[in-house]
Amino acid sequence: MGANAGAGLTQSNAWLKAIFAQTTGGIALTDLDGSFVTVNQRYCEIVGYSEPELLKMRMQDITHPEDLPGNLAQFHRMVETGSSFDIEKRYIRRDGTLVWVSNSVSVIRSDSGKITQAVTVTIDVTERKRAQEEVRQLAAIIASSDDAIISIDLGMNIRSWNRGAEKLYGYSAEEAIGSPATIILPTDIVDEENIIIDSIKAGGHVQPHETRRRHKNGTEVHVSLRVSPVYDENGYVVGASKIARDISERKEAERLQNLLVGELTHRVKNVLATVNAVVRQTLGPVVPDSQEAVLQARLEALARAYDLLTISNWENASLHDIVRKAMSPYREDSVQIEGDPVCVSARAVLPLSLILHELGTNAAKYGALSVDGGQVFLRWFVANSSETAKPVLKLLWEERGGPAVTVPSRQGFGSRLIKAVTTSELGGCVVADYAHTGFVCDFEIALSSLTLNHGFGPAKGSPIVDVCQ
């Protein structure tokens, strides 16, 4: 070898050494039995061992046992044939943690062409593997979901279609993917898709909603739909994903329930009207303030309370509505109503309505509503009971501007009903004050007995202190 050739070799050796030390890939040189001969710094970092430690080990010692047989088979084939191979496998690091790597392995030959060593270039792909695993898990969830999960692009063509969608809409993934999203839209709401896509494109959000979709066989299905934008890696919206749940059964149950409630209401009202007619016929013509007129007014109060329950499907009614309904016979400006929103359960609506009816008729007969300018103030709020610390409704009926009041010498049906219904039906207490300036009635009723349904209408899990739906 000439002097120049020797200098060239030294230079290229130095160059190789620099690459070996600085490359972002790990590099390991091994004997044909897998013993490490040389490793670079990056390789040490990836596997978590120092260079001196590795030089006493074989690649078999740090390869995950599950990946080793396949790895060795490829290694032996390479030693026999000289052809390189790529492999993704796990190393067990010094601290016991796993690292996924992508290795490119090739042979090194002696000057005579004999295979003497192997060189492995290693890249840490743990992050990529983790992301792949997440994607795989997500794909498995989507595939096995009973919900129909589909995605569409901005051109409104279907891009993905899971098994749930096959079941719900009747089209196979093959049929659906690439087709326009309108294939599952009933003709009367075919624009819905445009509106959704426009909103997604504009960066807006589509509220979860209930709608209809068309099955391949032409029938319609009721679905609850959730729509989310799909972004590309640069954050641009490229489409929308949609999760639809079949709610046909629930819709049918609701329809039946409405039918039954309607029928029941009709019957109850018929019964009340019949009782009213029987009373009228039995007692003769209505004389104002007569027993018959009082009875009739009470029956009407009952009918009004039932009206309230019908509006809310026998589930509940807001206290504001109950009060307004009970006070509807009186001039609006003579009754001031103010209170926290409280949703009253079906079973408490009637007792409350009856109490308010008796208070109203008494005010009209003897109190503030019996004169022009007299006023009733009805105020309530929710507070914690000073005795039980549980939430209670405090309701105050206060009359002002009526004739001077004296303490009555007798109790009629009204007072007895107010007391009995408050205590036995609602488990509360009531204090009446026949103050000279106006009658005052103070109620305290446990919130739970107003808001919880006990065997009447669909039970609600917890007290509802909210505006009724």
Ligand X SMILES: Nc1ncnc2c1ncn2[C@@H]1O[C@H](COP(=O)(O)OP(=O)(O)OP(=O)(O)O)[C@@H](O)[C@H]1O
Q: Which parts of this chain interact with ligand X (CB under 6 A)?
A: 294, 358, 362-363, 365-367, 399, 405, 408, 411-415, 439
Is residue 301 involved in binding Mg ion (CB under 5 A)?
Answer: no
**Complex with ligand X: residue 87 or 435, whichever CB lies closer:** 435
Stretch of 90-98, 177-185, 214-222, 411-419 contacting Mg ion, by CB under 5 A: 411-419
Binding mask 232-271 for Mg ion (x = CB under 5 A): ----------------------------------------
Query: Minimum Å distance from CB 429 to Mg ion?
Result: 20
Distance of alpha carbon 172 from alpha carbon 375, whole angstroms: 70
Residue 377 near which of ligand X, Mg ion, none (CB within 5-8 Å, type-dependent): none
Residue 405 near which of ligand X, Mg ion, none (CB within 5-8 Å, type-dependent): ligand X
**Complex with Mg ion: residue 25 or 414, whichever CB lies closer:** 414
Query: Minimum Å distance from CB 461 to ligand X?
Result: 38
Q: Which SS3 state, helix, strand or coil, does residue 377 take?
A: strand
Residue 408 near which of ligand X, Mg ion, none (CB within 5-8 Å, type-dependent): ligand X
Token pair of 307 as six digits: 């009206």
**Complex with ligand X: residue 15 or 413, whichever CB lies closer:** 413
Residue/partner pairs of 75-80 with CB below 8 Å, 24 or more apart: 75/34, 75/105, 75/118, 78/105, 78/106, 78/107, 78/118, 79/32, 79/107, 79/115, 79/118
Residue 124 near which of Mg ion, ligand X, none (CB within 5-8 Å, type-dependent): none
Helix-strand-coil split of the chain, %, nearest 5:
45, 30, 30
Stretch of 26-34, 144-152, 336-344, 413-421 contacting Mg ion, by CB under 5 A: 413-421
**Complex with ligand X: residue 193 or 358, whichever CB lies closer:** 358
Contact between 354 and 421 under an 8 Å Cβ cutoff? The reply is yes
Among 156, 236, 147, which Cα is nearest to 190's? 156
Contact between 85 and 118 under an 8 Å Cβ cutoff? The reply is no
Kind and range of the H or E run holding 352: helix 346-365
Residue/partner pairs of 21-29 with CB below 8 Å, 24 or more apart: 25/121, 25/122, 25/123, 26/101, 26/120, 26/121, 26/122, 26/123, 26/124, 27/119, 27/120, 27/121, 27/122, 28/54, 28/59, 28/119, 28/120, 28/122, 29/108, 29/117, 29/118, 29/119, 29/120
Query: Minimum Å distance from CB 354 to ligand X?
Result: 11
* Residues 336 to 365 in contact with Mg ion, rule: CB under 5 A: 362
Query: Minimum Å distance from CB 301 to ligand X?
Result: 12
Query: Minimum Å distance from CB 455 to ligand X?
Result: 30
Contact between 76 and 83 under an 8 Å Cβ cutoff? The reply is no
**Complex with Mg ion: residue 20 or 366, whichever CB lies closer:** 366
Residue 36 near which of Mg ion, ligand X, none (CB within 5-8 Å, type-dependent): none
**Complex with ligand X: residue 381 or 413, whichever CB lies closer:** 413
Query: Minimum Å distance from CB 247 to ligand X?
Result: 50
Query: Minimum Å distance from CB 436 to ligand X?
Result: 10
Residue 246 near which of ligand X, Mg ion, none (CB within 5-8 Å, type-dependent): none
Is residue 34 involved in binding Mg ion (CB under 5 A)?
Answer: no
Q: Which SS3 state, helix, strand or coil, does residue 61 take?
A: helix
Query: DSSP strand E in 232-287: where?
Result: 237-246
Contact between 78 and 105 under an 8 Å Cβ cutoff? The reply is yes
Query: Minimum Å distance from CB 365 to Mg ion?
Result: 7
Query: DSSP strand E in 232-388: where?
Result: 237-246, 316-318, 335-339, 343-345, 375-384
Instruction: Count the site residues for Mg ion by CB under 5 A.
Output: 3
Residue 34 near which of ligand X, Mg ion, none (CB within 5-8 Å, type-dependent): none
Residue 353 near which of ligand X, Mg ion, none (CB within 5-8 Å, type-dependent): none
Q: Is 332 exposed, middle or buried (0-12, 13-18, 19+ CB in 10 A)?
A: exposed
Helix axes 346-365, 413-420, angle to 10 degrees: 150
With CB atoms as reference, the residue minimizing the distance to Mg ion is 414
Residue 380 near which of Mg ion, ligand X, none (CB within 5-8 Å, type-dependent): none
Is residue 414 involved in binding Mg ion (CB under 5 A)?
Answer: yes
Q: Applying CB under 5 A, which residues contact Mg ion?
A: 362, 412, 414
